[in-house]
Amino acid sequence: MTGQPRRQVAGGIWALAIAMGVGRFAYTPILPLMQQELHFSDAFAGYLASSNYAGYMLGALLAGVIPWHGRRALYYRIGLTASVLTTAAMGMTHSPSLWFALRFASGIVSAFVFVLASAMVLDVLAARGKTAWSGLFYGGVGAGILASGLLTPLFARLGSWQGAWIGLGLFSAVGAVFAWMWVQEGESASGAGKTASDSAAAPPARWLPWLIASYGLEGLGYIVTGTFIVAIADQIPGFAGHSIWVWVLVGAAAAPSCILWSSLAKKLGFVRTLLWSMLLQAAGIALPAWWSAPGGFVISALLFGATFMGITTLAATLGRQMSPNRSSRVIGILTAVYGTGQMLGPAGAGALFSLTGDYNGALLGAAAVVLAGGCLLLTGLRYDKQRRDRDNALRQH
């Protein structure tokens, strides 16, 4: 990779690692540390997680409707800075009210960074004919998760759960320098028009509501595992206090997954590939309910990590292909619907955990929701077939 696309992708990787991998998901590995020391309930943990996802939903809605007028880079950098500050500030207070406010604010700015970075990076890649690189860009979330999983125990040894938040904030501040410099406002969405490749690969815009509904169900289902997998694993005797490694496996599987799913989509079609990824994820979410042992959690973590960011990559790329002249708006709508599901999932699951003392019902319910979202994609499989038929006809000529 050379030139502007290389810098855009590298900066975008850092941006998603900071705002998403750390800013949003560091709560998952730090949660058991907070519960051990502060003794708050699973219901409270779920509500605190949902405050972040409520902010994410609001931020995505705003990002999708604000007329940026060439100022996407400015607001992206503001969001990036705020993400670093809200992460570090979580370790500077014991006030539950401030935690809720900080997680809510973190959700808003992480959505801004995700939507604006996605729009700017994907527009440049589309204009340069490098859309296959989108998988590298979205791999930044997995890289951030991997980093948070590896660094949390180190920072926690220096200062318990507070040290973990502050240490990850400092790590994010370093990465933000590169994310700030390298992601620029390049070719606009209107300038990066729909290519022949895009037209061949994407369903028509009228199919977009099916994609939006499916992606919303994905957000509702996946986030139960995305929030609680480490806390659930921490209760399994076989982990003996080392449940953090479950999150490391999630990040390790997530980092390369986006480019792999993107490559597969080029061969099988985006809709078909998105369907398969959701089916695999549903199996991974449900697995610990059937096999409550370290082996079950390891496989669950790998399946979850290998799919959840791949699904985001496929959905965002597909949405942009279907409406390339409104990339910020379409990605914002998708992210807002996804965020609505994320807001509801942890609160409901946490309340159910506290009520029943058992995680299995919530895990199976979450898996069923993702499965239902996958079923909605069946309506679009014919578009993948039409694309392959067109490709075959072109090759014959």
- Give the domains, in start order, of the chain with CATH numbers: 3-396 (1.20.1250.20)
pLDDT class of 1 with cuts at 50, 70, 90: very low
Rounded CA separation 259/145 (Å): 17
- The gap between the terminal CA atoms of the chain, to the nearest Å, is 32
The predicted pLDDT at position 2 comes to: 46
Average pLDDT, the chain: 85
pLDDT in tens, 150-206: 999 999 998 899 999 999 999 999 999 999 999 988 655 444 444 444 444 567 778
Query: What are the DSSP E strand ranges found in 232-333?
Result: none
**Where is pLDDT greater, at 138 or 387?**
138
Q: What is the DSSP string of 318-341?
A: HHHHHSGGGHHHHHHHHHHHHHHH
The predicted pLDDT at position 193 comes to: 45
Rounded CA separation 144/15 (Å): 9
Spatial CA neighbour of 307 closest among 258, 252, 346: 258
pLDDT in tens, 326-337: 666 787 788 788
Residue 202 has phi, psi (to 5 degrees) of -105, 145
- pTM reported for the whole predicted model: 0.80
pLDDT in tens, 123-162: 888 788 777 787 788 889 989 999 998 999 999 998 899 9
pLDDT at 288 over 60: yes
Under 8 Å between Cβ of 311 and 277: yes
The predicted pLDDT at position 327 comes to: 64
Rounded CA separation 11/319 (Å): 22
Listed as own residue / partner, the contacts of 155-164 with beta carbons closer than 8 Å and 24 or more positions apart are 156/30, 156/33, 159/91, 160/33, 160/37, 161/30, 161/33, 161/34, 161/37, 161/38, 161/91, 162/91, 162/92, 163/91, 164/26, 164/29, 164/30, 164/33, 164/91
**Average pLDDT over every residue of 1-9:** 73
The predicted pLDDT at position 317 comes to: 82
Most confident of 186-195, 292-301, 348-357: 292-301
Token couple for 151: 């660094």
The predicted pLDDT at position 212 comes to: 93
Rounded CA separation 194/315 (Å): 17
Angle between the N-to-C axes of helices 327-356 and 294-322, in degrees from 0 to 180, rounded to the nearest 10 = 150
